Structure 1
Amino acid sequence: MTINTIKIRDDHKSLEFVADGDAFMRKTDSQTSWLTGETFNHTDLRKGIEPWLTSLFQSEHLSLLVGSGLTHAVHYLATGEGAAGMDALTLSNYQVEIDQAAEKAAEAAGREKGNLEDQLRAANELLRGLEILQKDSEFEALRKELQIGMHAFAQSILTSETGIATADNERREHAFNTLVTFLMSFASRTGVRDRLNIFTTNYDRLIEAGAELAGLHLLDRFLGKLTPIFRSSRLDLDMHYNPPGIRGEPRYLEGVARYTKLHGSVDWVQTGKDVRRIGLPFGAASVDPYLQAPGLSEATTHELMIYPNAAKDRETADYPYVELFRDLAAAVCRPNSTLVTYGYSFGDEHINRVIRDMLTIPSTHLVVISRDDPLNRIMHTYQEMGRPSQISLLIGPALANLTTLTEYYLPKPAIDKTTFRMGELLRQRWDANQSPAAQPTAEVGIGDVSDLV
């Protein structure tokens, strides 16, 4: 049976349990201050998890880091199967050398074996070496094969989008409704708090699609309407409104978040010295027709800004990714900051380094939500960081299944203010109807109402 792991609040160590339907049973002898008994269910867990997450989500700074787990979860809800994976790169020259370099890179990052990204990174470095050595024929042959590989990679991303976009109406609607609920649980912050920062390592546009359905405005580094251009200057642009009849400073507009795709996107293209975003529809059959436009006519899938990109020199190879990772560090490495990860397997050392630095600030907190940990990277990183009081864990299908997570454990900020007002109203009515001698009883009742928040 699958083991689920939970560690929240003041737990000294994680609690492991197994699930039999909606009934859960402890697997270890660990005790928690908020949960008693050997058997429990979702309702029992919700009493401890939801208030804890609600308080963390109202930190001064809140960031969400999304990995491929979100794409797989939404794709499964829509189609009943996981999203398309990344096939290995097949080359006619230097296959062995590139595979060996990819394996070494994966081992250095703490992963068991190399993936397509490791292969592309090694192949791009080799391509640059062949260009320096002026081996024109070998350079051209490898460049063409890399272009084919990048095209196949982009196609696999679009295939996953297409699977969601063309799914059965009822299942697709349920999948997107769940995604919207997930996003708005984080984005519904009060106007006095800093904006939510959303970071993702995914190349697809699933979050963008969910944000459109939710009416969530995403602020990123791209400026423009037709083919937005990536700008290095990061101004604190925001959205405000003027309340009718009120003079003074404008107020923050609700439903706005800052958005950063750390590894690029399937609709980002390098054109000359610029990086632009093209109008590629969600679930398009191919990217090629949308590159046939003035200013983009020389661009191919080889110029897609998918990390690691196919740039031919070090300066452009680091751009724009160095800017994006700087945004991550600036957002999370601040006092009173909470970072929530969902579907991220801790396989990217660049990101892990930033998280490690974040936790050196005592008032920061990391919440890890993942459906599984097959390579034990999450628990290894948790133990390696050595700051258990600053880390909460929700690992396992009983906790991190997207539907279960949104129904039971994530806060519902849209109704929190209403619940507070209801509690205050009940407090006033209760106090008004009780005699002075009965006031202590009223205090106990009020505490019970507050527990509903």
Structure 2
Amino acid sequence: MDWKTHSYRVGSHVWEGDGIPPAGPELDQFISDARKCIEPWLSAVFQSEHFNLLIGSGFTTAVALTAGGSATGMGKVVFGSAFDDKIDVHAAASATKMGRGSANIEDQFRSALAVYEGLLVTDSAAAAALKARMDAQLLLFLKSLLESERRIKDAASLDHLQLAQTLLQSFLLSCASRTASRERLHIFTTNYDRLIEHGCDLAGLRIIDRFVGAMNPLFRSTRVEVDVHYNPPGIRGEPRFMEGVVRLTKLHGSLDWHYDKALRTIRRLGIPFAARADHTDLPKEPIDTVMIYPNPAKDVETTAYPYAELFRDMAAATCRPNSVIVTYGYGFGDDHVNRILLDMLAIPSTHIVIIVYSVDERVKAFCARAREAQVSLLVGPHFASLETLVQHYFPKPALDYITSRLADVLRHRPTPAPAAPVPGPAGTTPEVGA
């Protein structure tokens, strides 16, 4: 591909262009033509045997903009320590090595934690000072995530709120609406916020994850395939899958995951969506307790424990025949995630659909390492717009059995014979329908 501003490649259909027609009849015709190619392809993809969804920070940004707000950025911070220069140099080098490009806050924390571990051996006073700086910055980051959630919940207007909630629910329902014979949708996200959980609550979707319990859910390392079934009325011994059940894996953790140092367990706290910054469950020293990547919680076993299990879940769900994954808002800047995606594409029957707002070197590098036939693309502000995507290109967010049965009836109904021509006056024979 020439990587124009807007492009799509679905099946055998390819289109590229630098611009989209302005609002009006030309745009309506463009959307109609593109929909004829994109919507049937995505409908087939969404009903694959194993279907997965990978959501990045662009998803939160899209919903926040729809609500008239903005999302938390991943820009660099200033710790204010004596080691800031060395931390920034190491963060930039690690970001370049992973193909991320410029360093962000995750790279900075990863480098700062490495310095902190070294100072614990050589200079405990300097280690304590650096930890205090990291605690302060991580707490500010947590509060900014909650502020981002509040901007979505407290939208600029009622119209903005209704549109954001409608698009959020429709997006999730379009992906989760699968026939009962198919495996559940598995959602993976690198985000720390709870927007997906909030959207599932609004849409009435039940979430299955590794946490077990009602009051204080506990993270379990056992990957038990727990699911929800129901028995149809009048039928015994033949359970069926319930509709509206999804699996969720937060690859980098979440702002409400808490490590209990005394019990050495990970629990999910009851921090409400869009909670205030002074919520009592927000820790004063989050470096030791909040389980968000790349926080090691000062314990080697716990460092590998939650994140290794989560990435193992992703590999198990995607790296198998007839598996499909759709990415939205993910910038391909996490090398550990890209590695799993490329391992999946080593299986010929797998497929990936990439939906991105703009193309950079990270997306190009990933596509260059994958087989073209296994990659579908929706590129550009038009195709990646959440509103445009949901309203025009995504499948209908429901399992509409009535429409399906109607199509079957029409398909099996014999075609009526054409009407015989009616002789006109003076021996003329007008055309049928004249």
After TM superposition, the score normalised by the length of structure 1 is 0.86
Instruction: Give 1:372 shift.
Output: 1.7
Number of aligned residues: 412
Please list every run of 5 or more consecutive structure 2 residues that lacks an aligned counterpart in the other structure. Answer: 421-434
The one of 266, 279, 291 equivalent to 2:270 is 279
Identify the match of residue 317 of structure 1 among 303, 327, 344. 303
Q: CA deviation at 1:20?
A: 2.7
Q: Classify the secondary structure of the residue corresponding to 1:412.
A: coil
Instruction: Tell me, in whole angstroms, the C-alpha distance in 2 between the residues paired with 1:428 and 1:232.
Output: 51
| Pairing of 1:122-137 with structure 2 (within 5 A) | 122-133=111-122, 135-137=123-125
Match for 2:402 among 385, 399, 418?
A: 418
Aligned to 2:236: 247
1:380 pairs with one of 355, 361, 365:
365
The aligned residue for residue 424 of structure 2 is none
Counterpart amino acid of residue 317 in structure 1: T
Task: Indicate whether 1:176 and 2:178 are aligned.
Answer: no
Asked whether 1:99 is paired with 2:101, we answer no
1:393-434 CA distance string (max 9 Å, x none): 001111110000001111115254322211222234444x44
In the other structure, the counterpart of 2:425 is none
Task: Give the Cα separation in 2 of the matches to 1:302 and 1:83.
Answer: 26
Quickly say closer, same or farther: Cα 1:132–1:287, change in 2 above 3 A. Answer: farther
Instruction: Give 1:102 deviation, angstroms.
Output: 0.3
Indicate yes or no: 2:315 matched with 1:329: yes
Equivalent of 1:139, from 127, 141, 146? 127
Kindly indicate whether the alpha-carbon contact (under 8 Å) linking 1:265 and 1:306 is maintained by their aligned counterparts in 2: yes
Distance 1:93 1:316 in 2: 28
CA distance in 1 between counterparts of 2:60 and 2:185 reads 20
Contact map agreement 1:223 1:229 (CA 8 A) in 2 = yes
Verify: 1:41 aligned to 2:30, yes or no.
yes
What secondary structure is seen at the aligned counterpart in 2 of 1:392?
strand
Shift in Å, 1:87: 4.3
Q: AA paired with 1:100? A: V
Alignment of 1:67-216 (within 5 A): 67-79=56-68, 81-90=69-78, 91-133=80-122, 135-167=123-155, 168-216=157-205
Aligned to 1:111, the other structure's residue is in SS state coil
1:210-229 pair list within 5 angstroms: 210-229=199-218
Partner of 1:32: none
Q: Which residue of 2 aligns with 1:5?
A: 7
* Pairwise CA distance, 1:17: 4.3
Aligned mate of 1:266, from 255, 260, 272:
255
Displacement, 1:165? 1.1
- Report the AA paired with residue 291 of structure 2: M
**Structural mapping, 1:343-422, within 5 Å:** 343-373=329-359, 375-385=360-370, 387-414=371-398, 416-422=400-406
| 2:430 corresponds to | none
The answer to whether the 8 A contact 1:367-1:393 is kept is: yes
Structure-1 separation of matches of 2:145 and 2:296: 17
Q: Secondary structure at the match of 2:234?
A: coil
Q: 2:412, 2:366 → 1: CA distance?
A: 49
1:70 offset after TM fit, Å?
0.6
Cα distance, 1:348 vs structure 2: 0.3
Aligned equivalents of 2:279 and 2:296: distance in 1? 17
Aligned residue identity for 2:154? T
Shift of 1:88: 2.3
Match of 2:272, SS state, is coil
TM-score (norm 2): 0.90
- Correspondence list, 1:300-315, <5 A: 300=286, 302-315=288-301
SS in 2 for 1:367: strand
Which letter does structure 2 place at the counterpart of 1:75?
A: A
Gapped runs of 5+ residues in structure 1? 26-38, 293-297, 438-453
- Distance (whole Å) between structure 1 residues aligned to residue 278 and residue 9 of structure 2: 43
CA drift at 1:287: 5.9
CA offsets 1:200-255 (integer angstroms, 9 cap, x no match): 00000000000001000010000111111100001000000111101222100110
| Identity between Structure 1 and Structure 2 (%) | 46
Q: Any idea what SS the aligned residue of 1:319 has?
A: helix
Partners in 1 of 2:304 and 2:287 — Cα distance? 18
Q: Which whole-Å CA distance do the structure 1 matches of 2:51 and 2:399 have between them? A: 19
Q: Aligned Cα RMSD in Å?
A: 2.2
Give me the whole-angstrom Cα distance separating, in 2, the residues matched to 1:357 and 1:232: 23
Return the index of the structure with the highest Cα Rg: 2
Q: Secondary structure in 1 aligned to 2:232? A: coil
Amino acid aligned to 2:10: I
SS at match of 2:88: helix
Give the partner amino acid of 2:150: T
- 1:29-63 superposed Cα distances (whole Å, 9 cap, x missing partner): xxxxxxxxxx9500100000000111111110000
